[in-house]
Amino acid sequence: NGVSTEARGALIVLEGLDRSGKTSQSSRLLSYLEGLGHSAELWRFPDRTTSVGKMISSYLSNESQLDDHTIHLLFSANRWEKKSLMEEKLKSGTSLIVDRYSYSGVAFSSAKGLDIDWCKAPEIGLLAPDLVIYLNILPEKAAERGGYGGERYEKLEFQKKVAAYYQILRDASWKVVDALLPIEEIEKQLQVAVLDCVKACQGGKPLSCLWS
């Protein structure tokens, strides 16, 4: 009947500790997908460009103080304000490579001592990733990479707690990759997983919501 049955894009999230290589790998993945002729975009959370994102940015750089619950909800709000655009892009056939998402939200706030179920609650109803790539690295090794800067969470003891919460959050959508391998080796492993995922989404895999 002429109705468009355009294939949807894939929602691919990169997670991992600070310095695990998310930024390096996400830009390589974008070039890879674009090189194959796929429509794709690179996103990151926090999105520091929005008004909520500016509050988050000022908190992360220690320019402002916020209660732990408050900043948790701001990180979540920063994802909610992008949800409809995210859905639109995916439905129109664009794949999104997203540097950090709800798993960062829950792992970092839980590591501060907030209840994990409380942390998950505001994420319920956001789009569920089709694939989560977890760049696995020991916190000590991550700290060796150029050292941590001055942002709030860039401390070894805290990163160890975050790593433990990431393990609790791991589910079937995760692909865990050894982040100590050479950049090009990781890139090759990710290309295979990402292409499989993009094809599954083109093939009709339905979009779903967190947390299921």
Q: Which is nearer to ligand Z5A, 145 or 188 (CB)?
A: 145
Q: Near ligand Z5A by CB under 6 A, which window of 1-9, 21-29, 31-39, 190-198?
A: 21-29
Indicate whether 58 belongs to the interface with ligand Z5A (CB under 6 A).
no
Cα–Cα dist 71/64, whole Å: 11
Provide CB contacts within 8 A for 179, sequence distance 6+.
16, 20, 21, 135, 136, 137, 142, 186
What binding mask, one character per residue, do residues 98-137 give for ligand Z5A by CB under 6 A, x or -? --x---xx--x-----------------------------
Q: Near ligand Z5A by CB under 6 A, which window of 3-11, 180-188, 192-200, 202-210?
A: 180-188
Burial of residue 188 (CB within 10 Å: 0-12, 13-18, 19+) is exposed
Indicate whether 97 belongs to the interface with ligand Z5A (CB under 6 A).
no
Indicate whether 203 belongs to the interface with ligand Z5A (CB under 6 A).
no
Indicate whether 16 belongs to the interface with ligand Z5A (CB under 6 A).
yes
Measured in residues, the chain has a length of: 212
Indicate whether 15 belongs to the interface with ligand Z5A (CB under 6 A).
no
171 token code pair = 């589910």
Best CA proximity match to 94, nearest among 37, 175, 44 = 37
Q: Which is nearer to ligand Z5A, 19 or 120 (CB)?
A: 19
**203-212 per-residue burial string, b: 16 or more CB within 10 A, e: under 16:** eeeebeebee
Q: Which is nearer to ligand Z5A, 9 or 21 (CB)?
A: 21
Beta strand 40-44 pairing with 11-16: unpaired
Backbone angles phi, psi at 194, to 5 degrees: -70, -40
Indicate whether 95 belongs to the interface with ligand Z5A (CB under 6 A).
no
Indicate whether 57 belongs to the interface with ligand Z5A (CB under 6 A).
no
Indicate whether 60 belongs to the interface with ligand Z5A (CB under 6 A).
yes
Indicate whether 19 belongs to the interface with ligand Z5A (CB under 6 A).
yes
Shortest Å, Cβ 13 to ligand Z5A: 10
Cα–Cα dist 25/188, whole Å: 10
Indicate whether 146 belongs to the interface with ligand Z5A (CB under 6 A).
yes
Q: Which of residues 30-49 bind ligand Z5A (CB under 6 A)?
A: 45-46
